[in-house]
Amino acid sequence: MSRLVFAGTPDFALASLEALVDSGRTPVAVLTQPDRPAGRGKKLRASPVKTYALARDIPVLQPATLRDDAIVAELTALEPDLMIVAAYGLILPQNVLDIPAHGCLNVHASVLPRWRGAAPIQAAILAGDEATGISLMRMEAGLDSGPVFHVETLRIAEAETAGELHDRLAVLGGATLVDKLDDIVAGRLEPQEQDESLVTFAPRIATRDAEVDWSVSAAEAARRVRAYNPFPGAYFFAGDSRIKLWRATPVEGAARPGSVLQADREAVIVACRNDALRLDELQLPGKRRVPATEFVGQFDLAAEPPG
């Protein structure tokens, strides 16, 4: 097989593109989302996939939508054998899915049919899943609903953040893709239909989802902190301050949820439903992340408890 098109945008996708190129399977073109404003200056920034592709002289296409006759014609003219999709971020309509001779293959960060959708890594942590993985799926018009060629699993570490799990899954995705690609194209791997009775969904993350809820158990609150690290960052309000919470650990304790049980150089602990949460790493607006032992010198949480 000589003609691949790769579609992807963020760092997760970059790991798969790098694996393809390193294995001698350089795509004839790369699809990635248009440059977006980023940073304090809101200057346009290229995606990681675009930056990598341009550095290696791989042609880059950046349509705002794939529901456009011109981009469909351009993709058709490339005569791809296969399109590989990883965290692209745009919906592929049926006429685009039909272009490659061997269809479109998706590198998805969950063990399908569990956690279809935009945020499978965060959803797995929030749910307390012990394991997750990578699914290689033949794409169809439905949301992550196509038959699965191969699944590779890994265990989620006890205190692992979404960022840390993302990085491990990205590497696993690239390695699995390269390892199974020839078997998929040659027809040596038969895709298995997903069990619809086991489907769960992982919707796109909104910033409001990351607010800490002290009325749940400390274990559930800690999972929320892990799931939203690094994006968008778990947070809570204390007085007029919106405080980011980057690391937290369930501990013993009992009081009204949101009560500050301890806030000194030893620890910062806030009551949850039936136990308590030790706040290990925090960040005030405009300041850097600091351990709790340093945070107590910046803010008196006992005087302004979480709202």
Instruction: List the CATH number of the domain containing 24.
Output: 3.40.50.170
| Domain co-membership, 179 together with 248 | no
pLDDT classification of 41: cutoffs 50, 70, 90 = confident
- Residue 45 phi/psi, 5° resolution? -130, 135
pLDDT classification of 307: cutoffs 50, 70, 90 = confident
pLDDT classification of 176: cutoffs 50, 70, 90 = very high
CA distances to 51, 95, 121, 128, 296 from 300, rounded to whole Å, are: 44, 59, 34, 32, 6
Peptide bond between residue 232 and the one before it cis (omega within 30 degrees of 0): yes
Is the pLDDT reported for residue 139 higher than 90? yes
| Domain co-membership, 82 together with 143 | yes
- Buried b / exposed e along 89-103 (16+ C-beta atoms within 10 A): ebebeeebbebbebb
**Does 306 map to a domain?**
no
Say how many CA atoms lie within 13 Å of 288 toward its Cβ: 3
- What are the tens digits of pLDDT across the range 64-118? 999 999 999 999 999 999 999 999 999 999 999 999 999 999 999 999 999 999 9
Peptide bond between residue 27 and the one before it cis (omega within 30 degrees of 0): no
| Domain co-membership, 188 together with 243 | no
| Domain co-membership, 26 together with 112 | yes
Averaged pLDDT for residues 238-261:
96
Strand partners, 300: none
User: What's the length of the chain?
Assistant: 307
Q: What is the DSSP letter of 100?
A: S
Can you give the residue range of the structural domain that contains 130? 4-202
**Confidence (pLDDT) at 167:** 98
Q: CB pairs under 8 A, 24+ apart, for 36-40?
A: none
**Does 245 map to a domain?**
yes
**Confidence (pLDDT) at 1:** 56
| Domain co-membership, 125 together with 145 | yes
Distance, CA of 190 to CA of 184 (rounded, Å): 8
Instruction: List the CATH number of the domain containing 290.
Output: 3.10.25.10
- Buried b / exposed e along 36-73 (16+ C-beta atoms within 10 A): eeeeeeeeeebbbbbebbeeeebebbebeebeeeebbe
| Domain co-membership, 220 together with 243 | yes
- DSSP E strands in 113-228: the ranges are 116-117, 131-138, 148-155, 201-202
The residue out of 171, 202, 233 marking a domain boundary is 202
- What are the tens digits of pLDDT across the range 177-225? 999 999 999 999 999 999 999 999 999 999 999 999 999 999 999 999 9
Peptide bond between residue 113 and the one before it cis (omega within 30 degrees of 0): yes
The residue out of 145, 172, 202 marking a domain boundary is 202
The residue out of 167, 202, 237 marking a domain boundary is 202
Q: What is the DSSP letter of 197?
A: G
Contact 134, 169 (CB under 8 A): yes
| Domain co-membership, 247 together with 192 | no
**Does 148 map to a domain?**
yes
**Does 45 map to a domain?**
yes
* Cα angle for residues 165, 178, 154 (degrees, 5° grid): 30
